[in-house]
Copies of this chain bind each other. A is one copy, B any other.
Amino acid sequence: MPTQRHGPRSRRERPAKPALTRPGIIATAVELMRAEGLERVTMRRLAAELDTGPASLYVYVRNTAELHAAVLDGMLGAVDLTPVTATGDWQDRLVQVLVSYTKLLFDNPGLAQSALVARPSGPGYLNLLEAVLALLNEGAVPDGRAAWLCDVLLQFATATAAEQATRDHNTEAEQEMDALVAAIRNASAETHPRIATLGDDLVSGPGSDRLDWGFRLLINGAIHTPRPIEQNR
């Protein structure tokens, strides 16, 4: 067996180029997103990080949307699920879990948006789903409603984060928000009496109050709203 020749290192930064694997690719993508934000997690940028060409990634990843969904699932491990087994009011604990999920999305602008398009289906998402369902079960929410409600709860959290996320790190979106505020203030009392009456209240309030109220509204709503054909199973 001939000894393998050890040439001088051609790459100083990445001395050993690891073989491509799906978990490895996604781990690198998560790193990249933490370092530079989701908007930099592109096929080309990621391929460069892995010392290869973009075409190579298509063996392991269907497309960019699927890649982003996998990245999100990888981050969902950071959601605090301890309230599930803690003591106290089940609604309060459910809100805690949901707030933790929402905060994660808040801190990672862009992730929330991609979550609305391509839902993750990995272990991170399943654990979060199970946690929400466990708390709804503890609260004796009928199974049929619980199944649909958990979807609405996570969707509300995701959509809220998607809206806020883009408004935070993005000057343009801020200006659009200002445009909406201005439009509401300028609304004529004759053509838009309700908007004129409510005024700033329409766009006011600290985000966390609105978020908390929203979660409690959803839970209360489900308790008071039977499904079209209620299956109690």
Contacts and interface: CB of A to CB of B under 8 A. Distances in A.
A27 interface: no
Interface string A124-166: 0111011001100100000110111111100110111011001
Interface in A74-113: 113
A227 interface: yes
Nearest to A195: B130
A113 B116 CA distance: 8
A152 to B, nearest CB: 6
A47 interface: no
How many copies make up the complex? 2
A116 B134 CA distance: 30
Which interface residue of A69, A116, A194 has the most chain B CB atoms within 10 A? Answer: A194
Contacts of A52: none
A176 B224 contact: no
A222 B194 CA distance: 18
A116 B162 contact: yes
A192 interface: yes
A52 to B, nearest CB: 22
A194 B137 contact: yes
A205 to B, nearest CB: 7
Given A148-B205, A156-B159, A219-B221, 15 more contacts: A65-B173, A69-B176, A116-B162, A116-B163, A125-B183, A133-B195, A146-B198, A147-B198, A148-B213, A152-B156, A155-B160, A158-B159, A209-B227, A213-B227, A216-B221
30 contacts: A62-B172, A65-B173, A69-B176, A117-B162, A119-B163, A119-B177, A126-B187, A126-B192, A126-B195, A129-B192, A130-B187, A133-B195, A137-B194, A143-B201, A147-B198, A147-B204, A148-B205, A149-B217, A151-B202, A152-B214, A156-B156, A156-B159, A158-B159, A201-B231, A213-B225, A216-B225, A217-B218, A217-B224, A219-B221, A221-B221
